[in-house]
């Protein structure tokens, strides 16, 4: 049916000095409004201008589109597996569910855009998609083997060092696949039953992880076909990731467990705080006396907790680092955002900051002693 080229004036909604990610977010919002609202299309696939595509790229999306209608817990289909590095073994026909929004080639429906469009952010759109208040527990379906390859060595959200270490080593499908088989295993109940069974039968590795080979060699001839659970806490994940050669913070995980296949072994990386498939003996629970307490503006959490006869617990920050919990303590008039900083989670009260009236969450370890003159912290206080 041919192609249409749409263009519109580049008008910066956050000022002339806005960052590249802001231009992308604003363009996506304009384009999706036009696709869904003006043209009335049912589905849209978003890609970027520095991608190469597999032979079956469109067939893959066509074949999986029905999942978006059949299962309300699936909100997007993506062509990108964040962990699809060449050193691991992947199945070109197999897919999995991920709670971590992947982007980089993804499909959504008009119904979803009707929900997201009115509050779509003007910057950091992908971070916003990963917030608990945006995803609402929904997941994306992604292929084990990528259906696109990123050739953008530098860009709005990319530096050459990161590209060379990760993106340049990603696998992409070169096979013309016409049949992906029965995909019912991707439906919520079926998939969770499968993962639960795998986790229950897996062995737990309690030692240090310097490499996958070290673990395999320690198992001897028993490693073939084995499943091994590697538990972690978020603040130590980078060390685990370095040993396995993957991204330094968790990606491509389903309910806080991701998997890698290597030399016949299925490695399962599970967050000890939040993975529901782990037995109680392997779970890290919040401190029994944990109480989230808002600080005074500009105060640190050491002072805040001491004023209430408590002490600040850094390991418990992870349990209160959600948009939902922040909204129980602050107005969050302009929603929630994911940023990095040692004083987060917090609420921004300084009107000169571009995050004014937002509640902020983070993906790095928070510090009790940190403070910012323009924010009000939420502190993890224990007895």
Known catalytic residues are 126
Are the C-beta atoms of 251 and 237 separated by less than 8 Å?
no
CA dist 100 and 119 (Å) reads: 20
Three-class DSSP category at 299: coil
**Count of H helices and E strands in the chain?**
13, 17
CA dist 253 and 102 (Å) reads: 10
Residues 6+ apart with CB under 8 A from 383: 289, 309, 310, 311
Instruction: Give 300-317 as a DSSP string.
Output: -HHHHHHHTT-EE-GGGH
Per-residue exposure over 61-85, b if at least 16 CB sit within 10 Å of its own CB, e if not: bebbbebbeebeebbbbbbbbbbbb
Three-class DSSP category at 240: helix
In this structure, the strands spanning 95-98 and 51-53 are unpaired
């Amino acid at each position: 049916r041919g192609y249409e080229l749409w263009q519109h004036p580049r008008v910066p909604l956050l000022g002339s000095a806005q960052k590249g990610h802001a231009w992308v977010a604003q363009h996506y919002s304009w384009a999706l409004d036009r696709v869904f609202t003006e043209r009335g299309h049912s589905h849209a696939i978003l890609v970027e201008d520095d991608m190469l595509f597999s032979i079956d790229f469109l067939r893959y999306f066509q074949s999986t589109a029905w999942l978006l209608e059949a299962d309300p817990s699936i909100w997007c289909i993506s062509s990108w597996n964040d962990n699809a590095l060449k050193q691991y073994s992947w199945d070109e026909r197999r897919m999995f569910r991920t709670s971590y929004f992947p982007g980089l080639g993804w499909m959504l429906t008009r119904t979803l855009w009707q929900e997201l469009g009115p509050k779509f952010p003007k910057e950091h759109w992908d971070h916003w998609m990963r917030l608990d208040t945006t995803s609402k527990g929904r997941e994306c379906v992604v292929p084990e083997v990528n259906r696109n390859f990123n050739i953008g060595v530098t860009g709005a959200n990319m530096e050459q060092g990161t590209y060379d270490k990760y993106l340049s080593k990603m696998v992409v499908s070169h096979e013309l696949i016409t049949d992906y088989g029965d995909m019912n295993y991707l439906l919520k109940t079926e998939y969770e039953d499968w993962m639960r069974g795998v986790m229950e039968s897996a062995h737990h590795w309690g030692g240090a992880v310097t490499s996958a080979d070290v673990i395999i060699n320690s198992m001897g001839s028993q490693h073939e076909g084995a499943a091994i659970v590697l538990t972690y806490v978020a603040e130590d994940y980078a060390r685990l990731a370095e040993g396995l050669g993957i991204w330094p913070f968790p990606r491509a995980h389903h309910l806080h467990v991701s998997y890698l296949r290597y030399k016949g072994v299925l490695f399962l990386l599970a967050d000890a705080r939040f993975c529901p498939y782990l037995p109680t003996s392997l779970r890290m629970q919040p401190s029994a006396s944990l109480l989230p307490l808002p600080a005074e503006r500009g105060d640190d959490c050491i002072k805040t907790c001491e004023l209430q006869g408590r002490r600040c617990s850094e390991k418990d920050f992870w349990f209160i680092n959600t948009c939902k919990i922040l909204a129980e303590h602050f107005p969050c008039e302009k929603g929630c955002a994911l940023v990095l900083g040692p004083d987060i989670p917090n609420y921004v009260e300084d009107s000169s900051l571009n995050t004014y009236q937002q509640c902020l969450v983070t993906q790095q370890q928070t510090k009790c002693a940190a403070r910012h003159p323009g924010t009000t912290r939420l502190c993890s206080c224990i007895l």
